[in-house]
Structure 1
Amino acid sequence: MADAASRLKSLVEQLLGVPLPVRIRAWDGSTAGPPDAPALVVRNRRAVRRLLWKPGELGLARAWVAGDLEIEGDLYVALDLMSTLVWERGEDARSLVQMLRDPRARAAVRGLVKVAGVPLPPAPPREEVRRSRTRLHTRWSDRRAISHHYDVGNDFYEIVLGPSMVYSCAYWEDGGTLESAQRDKLELVCRKLGLTSGQRLLDVGCGWGSMAIHAAREYGVSVVGITLSQEQASYARKRVADAGLTDLVEIRVQDYRDVADGPYDAISSIGMAEHVGSERYLEYAEDLYRLLKPGGRLLNHQIARRPQRDESAYDLDEFIDAYVFPDGELAPLGTTVTQLERAGFEVRDVESIREHYALTLRRWVADLEADWRRGLALAGPGRARVWRLYMAACAVAFERNRIGVNQVLAVRTPESGESGLPLRARTWGTG
């Protein structure tokens, strides 16, 4: 086909009813669109077939993961330009049937079918996880989901996360490094929890052990860290041993629902609650409440989505669910606070650090891109492309306030009403 790019651009704009904000570079070498904009490189006709059979975010993701689509130019600028189409207009393009209700859209689809060739649905990339809608957040399904995301390989995560090996939002100041920003985040959590020597801390979703090591080394607390990832646990145990902290830190492969050796003086849950699920969240909050002693504190660090007018219509992010965090769910901040209070907690402080996560994600992407060849060798091309796209897209989502991240400090306030918190907010300590 001569000048496939112009044909694609015209048909897609006819289908969507708006101009494309990016250039198109097609498999025949032709280009069309704004000359100074990043280019969406359509490497083959299969990419078009993927989008026809699954319009919107998931079709784009499948084509990206398979290598059928690429971005030429600034990835963040391209994602920002395309975000309105993917996040807003894409809601109306969930299925081919919906598009075919409009006569102009039907004509555009017929044209795209001619461009794409034989209209058979391509198989999804092997990295895609098929989601079971019937039994979510059982112990088995949660282990499977956590293994998919975290057992990519510790060497791969070392590339992305750097020496801190902390896989959650850092706490930045101007001119700081990723390592110092992650140390500052761990220190902030410890201060909010009011940790003192001799206390017991439960770190739920302990990852590669960074929070447990920091709390034990800097505050002299006894820490139990739990994770469902075997690879994380092995790595964390070695770090604990290398730090000479085996007398203070225990790393377990354990579900939070199975922890039975409370009470603890404090609980940290950093970037874990997104995996719990809306149906299980109250149970999660009640379990943590049960594990705390009266006066104990919980620091819940969690990503939140913006609330919708009709919450019953909320659906999971298709790309994230299929390729990144299977069965993961984001809740509005108000929902999280309500569930913690229903479990018995007194919520004492909420701090939004949304912009900090955008900065963190951009640094992770830069780290991966800087060692891209090794990342490909360690994780495979498809998985490496998943991580690059999801981290860059999430950075844009945080920057545009589509999602946020919050630290919620809650207390199991005793019957006396003495919370143990300082009179002046955010001085922390023990009051």
Structure 2
Amino acid sequence: MDSYKNTIRELLSYAKIHINGDAPYEPKIHHPQFFKRVLREGSLGLGEAYMDGWWDCDALDEFFHRLLKANLDKKVKGNFKLIWQAIKAKFINLQSKQHSKNVIVQHYNVGNELYQKMLDRNMMYSCGYWEETYDLEEAQENKLELICQKLKLTPGMKVLDIGCGWGGFAAYASSRYHVEVLGITLSEEQATLARERCEGLPVKIRLMDYRDVDGMFDRIVSIGMMEHVGTRNHKKYMEVVNKHLKDDGITLLHTIGNNESYQTTDPWINKYIFPNSLIPSAAQLTKAMEGFLLIEDWHSFGLHYDRTLMAWLKRFETSWSQFKDQYDERFYRMWKYYLSSCAGSFRARKNQLWQIVMVKETFKGDYMAIRNLERKPTA
């Protein structure tokens, strides 16, 4: 057992983290089998051990920031579960129509009330834009306004929202810019709430896979959905957008980005949070665009996601007492681990957040990129 502990101690030393140390980012170990479990099962074992109460940490987000910044993931190799994930990704289309609904059932259908307490009033489950604000509500409205301005919306346009969530963008764009929006999602709970929130607006919400879309649109947007498309389907996604985007149309992709190209996701995230998900790299996305779409703008602001995740975590913990009877303690620890580890990942710049504006070859005129918001008065 000492050999396992010594190995973990040596690895953590690269990140200047001490076992049972006094700093808030240093882990407190409660179970003697912790070290063996982590070395045998890697990130999956580390996450499950936390869910089981085998260890604690006062500042999980900073623990992961330091851990990832030290590139410890490059020092531990040979995990059989990770190899199996790679085999599955190579030979099985994990984001096919048959498999793509798995992530919806497990994650987005855990209950609308939980998300309503954790998210902003627009229920945007994606990175906010923290320009000149320290408030989550303003950051998410900034993001919506930024997207609308980048899409250069004008009244009467028809907009397709791929992966519309709870209808936050559809409601905002239709009410502020007087456009018609078709929002599509695979989550029944999302669709139900989205229809309620968009009642009376020129918005339609449909349960539909993006590969089944029909019709032509002036604008196409996807906010936080590309992570579930999968590298085997990136080109298909671009093909679908190209097919349904009008010749002079604009499309925007808001997605988490990876610094390197992978075929697999983190085993713990894959099992407990986003099954069959895959964060795309710049190389994977640009390769998929070839022959279909042209890049007009690529905006990167990944550090904004760190702040967004920490704001979600604060709201989740503040409202947890209201959900104790609905979810157990293991779910609480799972959710806290998820939000904290992701925040640490963005803080360490292991993941990025990209907004990519694309057009077809038939697009006319110059596209002017936008970073600073031009405030539009409420209609």
Shift of 1:69: 2.4
Which residue number corresponds to residue 247 of structure 2? 294
Which residue number corresponds to residue 282 of structure 1? 235
Which residue number corresponds to residue 239 of structure 1? 197
Shift of 1:239: 0.7
> Is 1:66 matched with 2:15?
no
Shift of 1:373: 2.5
Aligned 8 A contact 2:9 2:18 in 1: no
Corresponding residue to 1:153 among 111, 117, 129: 111
What whole-Å deviation, never above 9, does each CA across 1:370-421 have from its counterpart, x for those lacking one?
A: 223234444432333222212211111112111101111001232xxx4344
Written as runs of structure 1 = structure 2, the 5 A alignment for 1:14-413 is 14=7, 17-18=10-11, 20=13, 21-24=16-19, 33-36=20-23, 38-45=25-32, 47-48=34-35, 50-51=37-38, 53-54=40-41, 56-71=42-57, 73-83=58-68, 87-89=72-74, 91-92=76-77, 94=79, 134-241=92-199, 244-245=200-201, 248-260=202-214, 262-307=215-260, 315-342=264-291, 344-413=292-361
SS for the counterpart of 1:225 is strand
SS for the counterpart of 2:284 is helix
Cα gap change, 1:95/1:412 in structure 2, threshold over 3 Å: closer, same or farther?
Answer: closer
SS for the counterpart of 1:252 is strand
Cα gap change, 1:86/1:345 in structure 2, threshold over 3 Å: closer, same or farther?
Answer: closer
Aligned partners of 2:370 and 2:71: how far apart in 1? 39
Shift of 1:84: 5.5
Cα gap change, 1:95/1:292 in structure 2, threshold over 3 Å: closer, same or farther?
Answer: closer
SS for the counterpart of 1:92 is coil
Structure 2 stretches lacking a partner, 5+ long: 82-87, 375-379
Percent identical: 32
What whole-Å deviation, never above 9, does each CA across 1:129-163 have from its counterpart, x for those lacking one?
A: xx897352221211122221101111111121132
Shift of 1:86: 7.5
What whole-Å deviation, never above 9, does each CA across 1:345-374 have from its counterpart, x for those lacking one?
A: 121111001111111111111111222323
Shift of 1:48: 4.7
Structure 1 stretches lacking a partner, 5+ long: 1-6, 25-32, 97-130
TM-score by length of 2: 0.88
SS for the counterpart of 1:294 is strand
Q: Point out the more displaced range, 295-304 or 74-83.
A: 74-83
Shift of 1:171: 0.6
SS for the counterpart of 1:371 is helix
- The letter for the 2-side match of 1:83 is L
Shift of 1:89: 4.8
Aligned partners of 1:85 and 1:356: how far apart in 2? 21
Which residue number corresponds to residue 120 of structure 1? none
Q: Point out the more displaced range, 288-297 or 364-373.
A: 364-373
SS for the counterpart of 1:279 is helix
Cα gap change, 1:19/1:349 in structure 2, threshold over 3 Å: closer, same or farther?
Answer: closer
Cα gap change, 1:219/1:19 in structure 2, threshold over 3 Å: closer, same or farther?
Answer: closer
Cα gap change, 1:419/1:399 in structure 2, threshold over 3 Å: closer, same or farther?
Answer: farther
TM-score by length of 1: 0.78
Aligned 8 A contact 2:65 2:347 in 1: no
Shift of 1:80: 2.7
Which residue number corresponds to residue 377 of structure 2? none
Shift of 1:216: 0.5
Shift of 1:52: 5.1
Which residue number corresponds to residue 12 of structure 1? 5
- The letter for the 1-side match of 2:48 is R
Cα gap change, 1:85/1:181 in structure 2, threshold over 3 Å: closer, same or farther?
Answer: closer
Aligned partners of 1:86 and 1:324: how far apart in 2? 23
Aligned partners of 1:15 and 1:259: how far apart in 2? 50
Aligned partners of 1:172 and 1:252: how far apart in 2? 31
Cα gap change, 1:87/1:146 in structure 2, threshold over 3 Å: closer, same or farther?
Answer: farther
Matched length: 365
Which residue number corresponds to residue 4 of structure 1? none
Shift of 1:39: 4.2
Aligned 8 A contact 1:361 1:391 in 2: yes
Q: CA-atom RMSD, angstroms?
A: 2.7
Aligned partners of 2:70 and 2:54: how far apart in 1? 19
